[in-house]
Amino acid sequence: MLTKAEIQRIRSLQEKKHRETKGFFVIEGSKVINELILAKYPIAELYATASWTLTEATRISEEEMQKISHLPTPSDVLALCPIKHLIFEPEIVNHGLTLALDTVQDPGNVGALLRIADWYAIDRVVLSPECADLFSSKVIDSSKGSFARVKTYSLSLTTLCEKAVVPILGCDLKGDDIHTLSPTPNAILVIGSEGRGISSDMRGKISQFITIPKYGAAESLNAAIAGAIICDALKSINARK
């Protein structure tokens, strides 16, 4: 049986300040946790109801799971994992593709973009400090396990660009058609915020603005959909080189 203190401790991890203080974040859902176990991803604590049978865990009741869950409909398993921050080596941006998220604040979009990076084998994802927190439950849930496979960093994007000698491509409605781009196997691809696009600090760093050609009347695409289309086009162009 979980104590009130244990329940409070796990519940507190819903807030970023407590995640950072305690050094743990929460993952829920049998599918994603099973993937993590198979991949030997570090899990500090594992709580499960009687219906979870895949591995050993601290058994709790459905009522207790409801108390510690961060989801409207609790899963049958919940894990606490240690927060790990990768050390950023500036020179790595000159090799392969870097997806840079500039103030993307919707956690669903951040999680989806991690999944997209995973799908297209993007070498790394860099989040500006203003992005949704990588370790929030909504980002983790919407990434569908990709957060565990994608190399992810959080730092100033201007710092990211300091050592860059590769093209820095910025997604913008007034940019050049992505399909006319030359093969670019090494580049930084910047996706701006949902409402304001690429920030003023980053606009001066962009080598070339690119866009997705528009044929209909929609005003815009959300960050994740735009990111998927751009990544697909860029990978296709590079495959033809």
Average pLDDT of every residue of the chain: 94
Q: Is pLDDT of 119 > 80?
A: yes
Nearest to 205 by CA among 126, 114, 150: 126
What pLDDT, on the 0 to 100 scale, is given for residue 68? 96
pLDDT classification of 78: cutoffs 50, 70, 90 = very high
What pLDDT, on the 0 to 100 scale, is given for residue 190? 97
pLDDT classification of 195: cutoffs 50, 70, 90 = confident
Average confidence (pLDDT) over 144-161? 93
What pLDDT, on the 0 to 100 scale, is given for residue 53? 85
To which residue do tokens 């392969």 refer? 96
pLDDT classification of 241: cutoffs 50, 70, 90 = low
Q: Which two tokens stand for residue 58?
A: 């601290």
Domains, the chain, in order of start with CATH, read 4-82 (3.30.1330.30), 90-239 (3.40.1280.10)
Nearest to 76 by CA among 44, 40, 48: 48
Average confidence (pLDDT) over 123-138? 95
Residue with the larger pLDDT of the pair 79 and 1:
79
Q: Is pLDDT of 149 > 70?
A: yes
Average confidence (pLDDT) over 41-53? 93
Lowest mean pLDDT among 32-36, 117-121, 168-172, 188-192: 32-36
**Burial group, residue 44, by CB count within 10 angstroms (0-12, 13-18, 19+):** exposed
Average confidence (pLDDT) over 12-29? 95
Task: State the pTM of this model.
Answer: 0.92
